[in-house]
Structure 1
Amino acid sequence: MPCPPPNSSASPATAWWSWACGWRSSRLRVLLWYWGRRGGGAQFALSLARGLAAVPGTEVALSISREGDLAAGFAALGLPCDAVPTYSGAPGFLLGTARVPGLARRLARQARDFRADVVLSAMPHLWTPLVAPVLKRAGIAFVPVLHDAAPHPGDPALLWHWRLRRELAAARGAVVLSAAVERAIRAGAPALPLFRQPLGAHLPGPVPVGVEATHDFLFFGRVRAYKGLDLLRDAFALLRQTHPAATLRVVGEGDMERAAPGLSTLPGVTVEPRWVADAAIPPLVATARSLVLPYREASQSGVLPIALACGVPVVATPVGGLAEQVTDNETGLLAAAATPEALAAAMARMLDPATRARLARGALLRGAGLADWPAQAEMLLGGIRPWLGLVQRSGE
């Protein structure tokens, strides 16, 4: 694909970054590192790997977990790939930690043999702070994609900040996925170069079409205290007072009754406490007329761009990165505050058929760009390339 000028008909991300950064003057070798095993991080890494492989002038190699749920998907890309032994549970983590020094040397050796210009970490791993310093000592550029700048309330926080400091100290620069995370990282590491871009829609397959919507609202994701399921319970109870036919489906792994006592007894609510396989997430999201995110705190949401790509508008509280991911009154509606009353009011607005149809069109348009992973990858490479100090290789 030729490098387009700014007024090209190519996507804005592709056109602007190709023109402004001029980074195709030499080949770029990227070793994408992801040792996580499951969930949104794995889908993000796989989508990013596909996108990087599609960028002209870029060579990609992979370092992944042998125990990862998507190991076969990574292997199917046909890229140079090292599947390293990590772990599949808490006992395996404790025993596997003894192997970390050897695995760190193995990653550094792979980077040298591949002649990698950068080791790009798709998502931090519990072993990242032990491995990243080895890359720095070996003179290998390490760039992490930082999804969070602090532990979410209620999530495990042991050694969290120590791990982050170690990663930042070893990094050549970092990629962040929201302004909220960028501000927090800059406060702790003001000299570290940062590049911000939106979180893409990590779809494991084509956008589902022809799926019948069965509920007005869907809450989907792992159940955590900060996600405000109790706030949604109270908001939906208020909504039913004025819209008695409204329906809500709640799907996710975790103790929903503990998070929001009484939620399952509310009229119009369907509760499904279960893990959802990656391939089933887009069809699930497509069954909703809108996605609802009642979070009290957020870096950004991984399911939100998936919803937009499926043409499903979003109702969200105005916290953290959610306020950046939702363009209010274009791709969804932002509540005036993170309160049951404000969330109920926004949900009531979404129940208007004309409003919902207009926002669905906006969501689909925005989601198409977020699902364009070659453009997402090109934007990321354009952002980090100035940090790498590359020169034209002879013969390339």
Structure 2
Amino acid sequence: MLQVTLLHFPFSGYTLQLANQLVNYVDLTFIHSEKIYSQYKDFIDPRIHIIKIEKPRIRNPRNIFVMSAIMRMIREIKPDVLHVQENNDPWYDLMLLGNTMPPLVTTIHDVFAHPGDRDLIPGTQYTRKIAYYRSQRLIVHTNLLKNALVQQFHVPSARVNVLPHGELGSLFQSFSGKKIQEREPYTLLFFGRIWPYKGLKYLIQALPLVAEHIPEVKLIIAGQGENIDHLLQATDKKYYELLSGFILNEDVAPLFQRSTAVILPYIESSQSGVATMAYSLGTPVIASNLGGLAEMIRHEEDGLLVEPRDVRGLANAIIRLLSDTQLQQKIQKAALIRCQQDLNWSNIAAQTVDVYQKVAIK
């Protein structure tokens, strides 16, 4: 059986879902931080070999010793393939320069930094390029990202594989238990990091237009990032509910289940875990027609697409969806079918193993 070591830094939910299916195909060792393990330990398949590390904050120079220790672990394991989820840790990137690596597969969730994302780790936009060239294979979630790697970073096309971003709702449903939250017929949800590229201001501007037709409308804004009080100054408080800060894992699924629609008014997008979460939790998506969102969402089938920054168009789409229960049910059904097909983790794991076999030590 193929021996694979999976190392990850962010994207914990994604990586856990993938790991729990990969173990059906490979002998899997999973290296991650003690903090991440404490959050997800109850949901990790017991067949996976776990190695926990104490990972300091990113700006702590002790990271160089941690990364050295990780490299020693990898040399001792001698995996056929090392799979790294994202490379936004400059300490890891620099280690790639000075170490002989096993065949390396890297999943890149975002090729470029998002505009206005103040969580960006200084220097990462330069060091992460090292992994583009040291990896035998790269995995991305959209053709948009593949084209960026090929055209702007001159990565050979044959080395870049496009695999779907799997659904995340089932994991967060497990955190919240079997209790199903009653859906509120006129409630919208904006979920995730709140930075300018997410386009929240356009959704807030659309809210009064929606309220003219549907006075019961309410927007839940749940996430952390920039202070948005200035965006809400002119909005009546009865039209929104602000949950500012980190949303606990057990509170995620109920937010989606409360809502009749998830709104993604982004002005830039590489892919979206929020959309896949909505799909598997039965909440229809209205999103901007751009980037990775335009690739993932099938307009008028499993979601609705509107032009970015189009406040009136966004309002009209929301009014249409909230007013049409048959359309809601049609989108829900199509999205759930997607979760059983291309967004299914077992299928994604099998495709990932195909990538491993192309680079594995013979």
Do the two structures share a fold, i.e. TM-score over 0.5?
yes
CA distance in 1, matches of 2:131, 2:234: 40
1:28-67 correspondence to structure 2 within 5 Å = 28-36=2-10, 41-55=11-25, 58-67=26-35
1:160 equivalent in alignment to 2:124:
yes
Partner of 1:257: 228
Partner of 1:143: 105
1:181 equivalent in alignment to 2:145:
yes
CA distance in 1, matches of 2:234, 2:7: 40
Instruction: Tell me if structure 1 keeps the 8 A contact 2:81–2:356.
Output: no
Residues 334-377 of structure 1: CA deviation (Å, up to 9, x unaligned): 01443111211211221211111111111121123366322211
Residues 200-220 of structure 1: CA deviation (Å, up to 9, x unaligned): 123425576743112431111
CA distance in 2, matches of 1:302, 1:166: 25
1:241-390 correspondence to structure 2 within 5 Å = 241-258=212-229, 260-262=231-233, 265=236, 267-351=238-322, 352-369=324-341, 372-386=344-358, 388=359, 390=361
Deviates more, 1:310-319 or 1:332-341: 332-341
Deviates more, 1:205-214 or 1:289-298: 205-214
CA distance in 1, matches of 2:104, 2:202: 40
| Deviation of the 1:142 alpha carbon | 1.6
CA distance in 2, matches of 1:332, 1:34: 31
Q: Matched residue of 2:51: which SS?
A: strand
- Provide closer, same or farther for how the CA distance between residues 289 and 263 of structure 1 changes in structure 2, counting only shifts above 3 A: farther
Instruction: Tell me if structure 2 keeps the 8 A contact 1:224–1:259.
Output: no
| Deviation of the 1:76 alpha carbon | 6.2
- Provide closer, same or farther for how the CA distance between residues 307 and 370 of structure 1 changes in structure 2, counting only shifts above 3 A: farther
Instruction: Tell me if structure 2 keeps the 8 A contact 1:229–1:259.
Output: no
CA distance in 2, matches of 1:256, 1:341: 25
Instruction: Tell me if structure 2 keeps the 8 A contact 1:195–1:384.
Output: no
CA distance in 2, matches of 1:305, 1:275: 19
Instruction: Tell me if structure 2 keeps the 8 A contact 1:257–1:264.
Output: no
Question: Which residue, 134, 151, 156 being the options, matches 1:170?
Answer: 134
Partner of 1:81: 50
Partner of 2:84: 121
Partner of 2:181: 211
For 1:163, give the aligned amino acid.
T
- Provide closer, same or farther for how the CA distance between residues 274 and 94 of structure 1 changes in structure 2, counting only shifts above 3 A: closer
Instruction: Tell me if structure 1 keeps the 8 A contact 2:180–2:254.
Output: no
Instruction: Tell me if structure 1 keeps the 8 A contact 2:78–2:102.
Output: no
Residues 211-246 of structure 1: CA deviation (Å, up to 9, x unaligned): 311243111112111111110011122222233232
Instruction: Tell me if structure 1 keeps the 8 A contact 2:165–2:343.
Output: no
Q: Matched residue of 2:117: which SS?
A: coil
| Deviation of the 1:75 alpha carbon | 6.5
Let me know the Cα RMSD of the aligned residues: 2.4
Instruction: Tell me if structure 1 keeps the 8 A contact 2:166–2:276.
Output: yes
Instruction: Tell me if structure 2 keeps the 8 A contact 1:299–1:321.
Output: yes
CA distance in 2, matches of 1:117, 1:138: 13
CA distance in 2, matches of 1:258, 1:314: 25
1:7-46 correspondence to structure 2 within 5 Å = 27-36=1-10, 41-46=11-16
| Unpaired segments ≥5 residues, structure 1 | 1-26, 392-396
Compute the TM-score of the two structures, normalised by the length of structure 1. Answer: 0.81
Instruction: Tell me if structure 2 keeps the 8 A contact 1:75–1:81.
Output: no
Instruction: Tell me if structure 2 keeps the 8 A contact 1:45–1:123.
Output: no
| Deviation of the 1:105 alpha carbon | 3.9
Q: Matched residue of 2:225: which SS?
A: coil
For 1:130, give the aligned amino acid.
L
CA distance in 1, matches of 2:217, 2:193: 23
CA distance in 1, matches of 2:101, 2:97: 10
CA distance in 2, matches of 1:130, 1:67: 23
1:100-115 correspondence to structure 2 within 5 Å = 100=64, 102-115=65-78
CA distance in 1, matches of 2:307, 2:210: 15
| Deviation of the 1:329 alpha carbon | 0.8
